[in-house]
Structure 1
Amino acid sequence: MINAIILFLSAVLPAIFILKNSGFSSKQLQLSLVFAGSYLFSVTVIHLIPDLFLSGLDPFNLGLYILIGFFIQKILENFTSGVEHGHIHHHENRSYPVAYLLIALGIHSFLEGSIMTNSLHDHHLADSVYAHGSSSKILLGIVMHKIPAAFALMALLVARYKSKKKAMVLLLIFALSSPLGLFFSEYLSHAQILPKDYIIIFFAVVIGGFLQISTTIFFESDPHHKLNWQRLIITISGAALAVGVQLSF
């Protein structure tokens, strides 16, 4: 329950900040996004993927499901205009249905929350270092990623509707999606509705989405492929935090 509340507040509090403040530093937002992307990528590589491949399923098939998840997230990105990457787009086409954006963001956020359940990790890793504190490690990455996304989404909604109340109501859809994903995966795991292998496959698909999000943040933060020392230091710091968190549990 605590994790669900944290996921909810990580979207709501940034939205409230936007409503109370007429502006914020776009540069700081982008740098925080780089840090979050680095942490998310690193925790995926050093924690989630090793966890996945210790499940005992065919590694080739697991790799295929990761690829499927990668491209599913790529398709969702077509409807979100990169809001989940912290992009603030006041969409040029005013007739563009915000419903599409909210549905795609909702699916993305739902999948993020679904991977939070320890049942996805502990049921096959009871004696492994990867099982302990899994949800806390993942939670930190999701929260850091969700905050810039909430900033971007609220800014877009306020610009589109000129109504703070309506924008806040719509943002609540995004804010509730991750907690719902967490509750859904907990239910599936404990009710044993699906075989264990199906849960692990779902886990692999979500990991693929994490890889797509984090690598896109890297590419877009340096589109000209020039070394930016400030962003490099922030990127290394994000990776170092992921390593430190992994070793501390």
Structure 2
Amino acid sequence: MIINAFILFLSVALPGLLLTRMKSFSQKRIGYFLVFAGAYLFSMTVIHIIPDLFLSEEDPFKLGLYILIGFFLQKILENFSNGVEHGHVHSHGGYSIPYLLIALGLHSFLEGSIMTDSIHSNHRPDSVYSHGSSPKILLGIVMHKIPAALALMALLVAQLKNTKKAVLLLLVFALASPLGLFFSEFFGHSDVLPERYLVIFFAVVAGSFLQISTTIFIESDPHHKLNWKRFSISILGALAAVAAQIGF
């Protein structure tokens, strides 16, 4: 758990700090990386996280509702973050730094919370979903966080005109996912909350993952024209998720 928390922290801190040493970075390459990460995250949610949730004893219809709630909750958060979690800084400006950080922090907290394996322990012990979920989910979250960290750092520097303040806020934001992981580990291994509440919570997170990943696809093809290069990259991302699911 400690190692995973440290990796989550570094996935935000290192790209953001690296940006302070760089004059610029390739938006085109970041865009391609976003497509790959979005496809991986979407696929891992569909073939691993959601099936795992339906192995619980929770009513399938209710689980579907909770996933929908998570989807639309992330849409509300996006209203305050302006899509920075998708790796984009829109040119229209008008960002409110406090609201931005709160929305992004809550989003990252939810991301980190699903990293725990405790939710799998009481499902089918012989299931392929019952163990080893953290590394493959961690990979998807880290890939998603790198462009988001770059976008956030660029925005903070531009808005605050103070690199030191921007770095401090970035490091505070980087703690959100590790805190989410510690939260779910604590409640997952204690009797404070029944397991069904954790299942509900993770269903909401799964819905947010669906919203994030599908939005990345939409923004990568805003005119609904199939870009074969981006499409090929998304297929590779999906295949990587399938390979991770089969291999681990």
TM-score by length of 1: 0.97
Residue 84 of structure 1 pairs with residue 92 of structure 2: no
In structure 1, what is the Cα distance between the partners aligned to 2:230 and 2:66?
31
Alignment of 1:52-131 (within 5 A): 52-89=53-90, 92-93=93-94, 96-131=95-130
In structure 2, what is the Cα distance between the partners aligned to 1:229 and 1:40?
20
In structure 1, what is the Cα distance between the partners aligned to 2:124 and 2:92?
45
* Residue 215 to residue 62, structure 1, CA distance change in 2 (3 Å): same
In structure 1, what is the Cα distance between the partners aligned to 2:189 and 2:17?
35
Residue 186 of structure 1 pairs with residue 185 of structure 2: yes
Identity rate of aligned residues, in percent?
69
TM-score by length of 2: 0.97
* Residue 125 to residue 136, structure 1, CA distance change in 2 (3 Å): farther
Instruction: Give secondary structure in 2 for the equivalent of 1:88.
Output: coil
Shift of 1:90: 5.5
Task: Give 1:21's aligned residue.
Answer: 22
In structure 1, what is the Cα distance between the partners aligned to 2:231 and 2:104?
28
Which deviations, in whole Å up to 9, do the C-alpha atoms of 1:47-104 show, x marking residues without a partner?
01110101121100000000000010000000000000000235533xx430000000
Q: Tell me the amino acid that sits aligned with residue 243 of structure 2.
A: G
In structure 2, what is the Cα distance between the partners aligned to 1:89 and 1:193?
42
Say if 1:113 and 1:180, in contact at 8 Å, map to a contact too.
yes
Unaligned runs of 5+ in 1: none
Say if 1:90 and 1:159, in contact at 8 Å, map to a contact too.
no
Instruction: Give secondary structure in 2 for the equivalent of 1:70.
Output: helix
Instruction: Give secondary structure in 2 for the equivalent of 1:191.
Output: coil
In structure 2, what is the Cα distance between the partners aligned to 1:114 and 1:41?
17
**Which sits farther off after the overlay, 69-78 or 188-197?**
188-197
Instruction: Give secondary structure in 2 for the equivalent of 1:128.
Output: coil
Task: Give 2:4's aligned residue.
Answer: 3
In structure 1, what is the Cα distance between the partners aligned to 2:232 and 2:17?
30
Say if 1:65 and 1:201, in contact at 8 Å, map to a contact too.
yes
Shift of 1:192: 1.8
Which deviations, in whole Å up to 9, do the C-alpha atoms of 1:131-190 show, x marking residues without a partner?
221011110000000000000000000111111110000011220000000001101111
Q: Tell me the amino acid that sits aligned with residue 89 of structure 1.
A: H
Say if 1:85 and 1:217, in contact at 8 Å, map to a contact too.
yes
Task: Give 1:35's aligned residue.
Answer: 36
In structure 2, what is the Cα distance between the partners aligned to 1:164 and 1:150?
14
Measured on the aligned residues, the alpha-carbon RMSD in Å equals 1.0
Task: Give 1:198's aligned residue.
Answer: 197
Alignment of 1:128-143 (within 5 A): 128-143=127-142
In structure 2, what is the Cα distance between the partners aligned to 1:182 and 1:123?
19
Say if 1:90 and 1:156, in contact at 8 Å, map to a contact too.
no
In structure 1, what is the Cα distance between the partners aligned to 2:166 and 2:90?
15
Which deviations, in whole Å up to 9, do the C-alpha atoms of 1:191-210 show, x marking residues without a partner?
22111111100010000000
Instruction: Give secondary structure in 1 for the equivalent of 2:93.
Output: coil
Q: Tell me the amino acid that sits aligned with residue 144 of structure 1.
A: M
Instruction: Give secondary structure in 2 for the equivalent of 1:241.
Output: helix
In structure 2, what is the Cα distance between the partners aligned to 1:125 and 1:162?
53
In structure 1, what is the Cα distance between the partners aligned to 2:124 and 2:204?
19
In structure 2, what is the Cα distance between the partners aligned to 1:97 and 1:38?
29
Q: Tell me the amino acid that sits aligned with residue 7 of structure 1.
A: L
